[in-house]
Structure 1
Amino acid sequence: MDRRSPATAVWPAWLIVVATLSLSACAEKDPPRVISGADAARGLVIAERIGCAACHETPGVSWPSGRVGGTLAGFGERPMIAGRFPNQPDTLVQWLRDAPSLDPSTGMPALPLTEAEARDVAAYLYTLR
């Protein structure tokens, strides 16, 4: 005879439902992050001009193809910036303009970008999925 209460007997079934829903949510891709007023196409042009590809393999830029900073392919799907900071627009814009202000030990230099230019570059990076 099963002496469990009805609530306890339902627990395993409930756990399976929650686990299934959680896994199916993980399978769906998050929508691309959008930065209001930013222009991803202009961001690519700026990224080429400031030389991101000298250190990073950069989709959309055929040469150079740097490997010091790792690839930027898939950047828009990454949860973290440099493995340390949440990949959110405000943080990314700050990282692009002055990475050493967030992490003094980083090899990423401060870049000569205005706020608007950094927002455009961030918009471009978020298209990389």
Structure 2
Amino acid sequence: MVSGTRLLVASLLAMATAACEGKAAGPDNFTGDARRGTDLVRHYQCGTCHDIPGVAGADGNVGPPLRRIGTRTYIAGFIQNSPDNMADWIEDPQRALPGNAMPRMGIPQQDARDIAAFLYTLK
């Protein structure tokens, strides 16, 4: 029975760890429309600088490729990756990390949240 209990405990810990890893993307109260975000990525021409899977013509090579961005630990190598932080980054990358290479694009907060929601589908 002890080995069965250990197996159960190990399984529960593994599931909890996996759940925490999946939740690392951010809080449950984040709101954004991923479908609208896909359209906004096209509208703001994010693919001019970034390679973005699933977006036709988004094959830029100036900024980093956004493949699996939803699983990364950091944004720009310094900012903890979460939907809220991603939205803040998109809205004003210079406020988030002064002097970085990404320009402020004039993206309003709700659009930034929708784009972030889309980016979090890239896992």
TM-score (norm 2): 0.76
Alpha-carbon separation, structure 2, partners of 1:74 and 1:85: 16
Alpha-carbon separation, structure 2, partners of 1:30 and 1:88: 11
RMSD: 2.5
Aligned to 2:71: 77
Q: Give how far 1:67 is off.
A: 1.1
Q: Give how far 1:80 is off.
A: 0.5
Aligned to 1:119: 113
Gaps of 5+ in 2: 1-9
Question: Which 4+ residue blocks in structure 1 deviate beyond 6 angstroms?
Answer: none
Q: Could you tell me which amino acid in structure 2 is paired with residue 48 of structure 1?
A: R
1:49 matched to 2:43? The reply is yes
Go from structure 1 to structure 2 and tell me whether the alpha carbon gap of 1:41 and 1:30 turns closer, same or farther (over 3 Å shift). same
Q: Give how far 1:104 is off.
A: 2.0
Alpha-carbon separation, structure 2, partners of 1:99 and 1:79: 17
Conserved 8 A contact 1:35-1:123? no
Q: Percent identity?
A: 34
Q: Give how far 1:35 is off.
A: 5.8
1:30 matched to 2:22? The reply is yes
Q: SS at 1:67's partner residue?
A: coil
Go from structure 1 to structure 2 and tell me whether the alpha carbon gap of 1:64 and 1:79 turns closer, same or farther (over 3 Å shift). closer
Give the counterpart of 1:65 among 59, 83, 86.
59
TM-score (norm 1): 0.73
Alpha-carbon separation, structure 2, partners of 1:94 and 1:111: 12
Aligned to 2:3: none
Go from structure 1 to structure 2 and tell me whether the alpha carbon gap of 1:121 and 1:64 turns closer, same or farther (over 3 Å shift). closer
Give the counterpart of 2:90 among 78, 96, 101.
96
Alpha-carbon separation, structure 2, partners of 1:113 and 1:101: 13
Q: Could you tell me which amino acid in structure 2 is paired with residue 72 of structure 1?
A: L
Conserved 8 A contact 2:46-2:58? no
Q: Give how far 1:90 is off.
A: 2.1
